[in-house]
Amino acid sequence: MWQDLDIWLLLAGLGIFLFGIKLIEGSIATLGGRDLKRMLRTYTSRRFRAIITGTVATLLLQSSTAVTLMVMAFVGAGIISLPNSIGVVLGANIGTTATSWIVATVGFKLDIAEFALPFIGIGGLVSLFLGKSPRYSQVSHLLVGFGFLFLGLDQMKDSVSAFAETFDASRFAGSAWWVFVGVGLVLTAIMQSSTVTVAIMLTALHGGLFEFREAALAVVGCSVGTTSTAFLGSLNAATATRRVAMTNVVFNVFAAAVAVATLPLYMRLFEQAWGPGYDQVLAVALFFTAFNVVGVLLFVPLIGPFGRLVERLTPERDTLRAHVIANIAPDVPEAAVPGVREEVRYLLLGVIDLHRMLFGVKQPVRSWLPWKEEAGVAERYDDLKLLQAEIITYGTKVEQHGLGSTGSDALNRAMHAARLALYAAKTLKDVKANIDAFEGDDTFAGKYLMRSRERIAHTHKRMEALLQMGDTNGGYAAEVAALERWMQEDDTAGLKELSQGARDGLLKERDLGTAMQVHRAISQSSHDLLKAVAEMQGTMALGEGIHRSL
């Protein structure tokens, strides 16, 4: 029996199918990635709009995982709220069923090879004659990807045709439901694509290797297995990101449980509607969509309470981030105030590191915070926010022990510097998506971003030097004033550059608005950061007299 299975043809078909999916995902992400991100940011303000947006985005990208990861990033950056992100995740689960309909309605109804070859041929010619254009190059990848998708499906179908004639599927008829759910879950977790696993199951069903029940249960497992990528990616991520990943897992498990419980009902409905000899491949595709839609309808009323439950189950981290004040008792003001000042200096260095990461400035990390290389902007901002909260909480305790006017002034300046530092961090974090929109562009906007990166690097280098120096003969105050003048001149030059680009037609209206937002954010955050650095000068001068004030 097993010798009738052409394993190499099966593997070749699977490889071609996977390569086709990869080409489609990559080309669509390049052609419309920025618009998709903008759509996710703009059309998620209401619950049902968020669901529709998630469905459409997944239909276009052909990957619920990609959409979920994108949403996790937006929630982490504070662009999308948790309740609205839940709607997008629900919609993504509906959108991911689209490929099963393509396979079920076209894949086994036509001569797939003849259907696939025109896509490959036209795509190849587009690449040959128009491939120098980045846009047409991606269009060719899209066409070839669709061709490979169908061609790979045809190869997989042919590989099991002879095997199916000798395969006895009845031996699996009595197996427990969890066996087939587990098969779908494990295959999807390994291949990181529910689309591929569903295509394999439909191929096996069409070839007679499985019956409707077995294939349907495996498809249910696929919907749970597809959450593995987002879940693993959230383990060390920011709190908001972990909440989205948890939502994704819980909803898919919820929908899967409903699907398993109602599967006999679906089987009776299909048999009554279409008769005993109904098209089982098409029925599985319908079942895949139906149980996701039913799951969404049942889950929508629970979004609000569920969002609050997730927030309780995934609380903000309470791990101590403070490095200096953690070892100083707040009832010893002589040590506590200088300790707060030193902790704020570390906070400022952490904000500078965050800004460098946002702009891709290659500099050694000066922050002592335990950031891993793979830590994202949201995770790093969360750590800075927690550190600032610990500084403010500690400073409040120090105030209760009587500081005198000089000591109190020094402490207040330090805590004000901490607040300004976080304002600076948040201002740039909030325009991360705008910065990313210009990243790598060989346009005026992209070149402007490169010049902004150089200005940010220059500003931070001078601020870092200030944080390392003491106030010698007024040198600190003079350097702060000089940097302030340079930043004002730089702001004016940047605005002139953008205005000139707009007048010369080098900036589209949409890109001009985005560039202006980035410019304002750079200006505001840099000035807040410099004010915080200037406050540090005051705390140093006042800190020296603290013993006399106690």
Weakest mean pLDDT among 77-91, 176-190, 358-372, 522-536: 358-372
CATH of the domain at 533: 1.20.58
Specify the long-range contacts of residues 55-60, CB closer than 8 Å, at least 24 apart.
55/91, 55/92, 55/94, 55/95, 56/91, 56/95, 57/88, 57/91, 57/92, 57/95, 58/91, 58/92, 58/94, 58/95, 58/96, 58/98, 59/95, 59/98, 60/28, 60/32, 60/36
Examine the fold and report which residue of 313, 343, 367 is the final residue of a domain before the chain moves on: 313
Is a pLDDT exceeding 80 seen at residue 197?
no
The answer to whether residues 220 and 199 belong to one domain is yes
pLDDT in tens, 502-531: 888 777 777 777 788 888 888 888 888 888
Rounded distance between C-alpha atoms, residue 497 and residue 172, angstroms: 70
> CA 501 to CA 224: how far, in whole Å?
49
Same domain, 342 and 443: yes
pLDDT of residue 136: 81
**254 phi and psi, to 5 degrees?**
-60, -50
The answer for residues whose C-beta is within 8 angstroms of residue 48's C-beta and 6 or more apart is 87, 300
Amino acid 164: pLDDT: 45
Of residues 301, 286, 390, 297, the one with CA closest to residue 346:
390
pLDDT digits (tens, 9 = 90+) for 111-126: 555 667 888 888 888 8
CA–CA distance, 436 with 265 (Å, rounded to integer): 48
291 with 374, same domain: the answer is no
Residue 46 lies in a domain: yes
**Residue 130 within a domain:** yes
Q: Which residues form the domain of 340?
A: 325-549
pLDDT at position 259 is: 92
343 and 431: one domain? yes
Task: Based on the fold, state whether residues 354 and 472 are members of the same structural domain.
Answer: yes
The Cα–Cα gap between 101 and 94 comes to 12
Tell me the average pLDDT of the chain.
76
pLDDT band, residue 312 (cuts 50/70/90): confident
Q: Please, what's the b/e burial string for 283-302 (b: 16 or more CB within 10 A of its CB; e: otherwise)?
A: bbbbbbbbbbbebbeebeee
pLDDT, residue 132, reads 78
* Dist CA 491 CA 483 (whole Å): 12
Q: Which two tokens stand for residue 339?
A: 């300790």
Task: Based on the fold, state whether residues 494 and 372 are members of the same structural domain.
Answer: yes
Q: How many CB atoms lie within 10 A of CB 73?
A: 25
CA distances (Å), 131 to each of 20, 22, 125, 134, in order?
18, 19, 9, 7
* Alpha carbon distance 289, 392 (integer Å): 51
In this structure, what is the dihedral angle of CA atoms 513, 514, 515, 519, given to the nearest 10 degrees?
Answer: 100
Judge whether 319 lies within some domain.
Answer: no
My answer on whether 41 and 190 are in the same domain is yes
Q: Tell me if 320 is assigned to some domain.
A: no
Q: Is residue 538 part of a domain?
A: yes
**Residue 537 token pair:** 């000068």
Dihedral Cα 331, 333, 336, 341, nearest 10 deg: 150
282's tokens: 């098409």
Ranking 4-8, 207-211, 352-356, 459-463 by mean pLDDT, the lowest is: 4-8
Last residue of a domain, one of 285, 313, 341: 313
Q: Is residue 438 part of a domain?
A: yes
Instruction: Indicate if 278 and 340 belong to the same structural domain.
Output: no
Instruction: Say yes or no: 290 and 427 in one domain.
Output: no
Joined together, the tokens standing for residue 355 give: 């800004």
On whether both 241 and 351 belong to a single domain, the answer is: no
Residue 515: how many CB atoms within 10 A of its CB?
Answer: 25
**In this structure, are 420 and 284 located in the same domain?**
no
Confidence of residue 260 (pLDDT cuts 50, 70, 90): very high
Q: Which helix (H) or strand (E) element contains residue 167?
A: none
Q: Which of 282, 313, 344 is the C-terminal boundary of a domain?
A: 313
How many structural domains comprise the chain?
2
Beta strands in 71-183 (DSSP E): none
The reported pTM is: 0.51
C-alpha distances (whole Å) from 315 to each of 227, 252, 312, 377, 525 are 21, 22, 6, 19, 28
Is residue 394 within 8 Å of 340, Cβ to Cβ? yes
pLDDT band for position 262 (50/70/90)? very high
214 pLDDT higher than 90: no
Dihedral of alpha carbons 356, 360, 365, 368, sign: positive
Q: 371 in a domain, yes or no?
A: yes
Q: Is residue 212 part of a domain?
A: yes
Are 395 and 299 in a shared domain? no
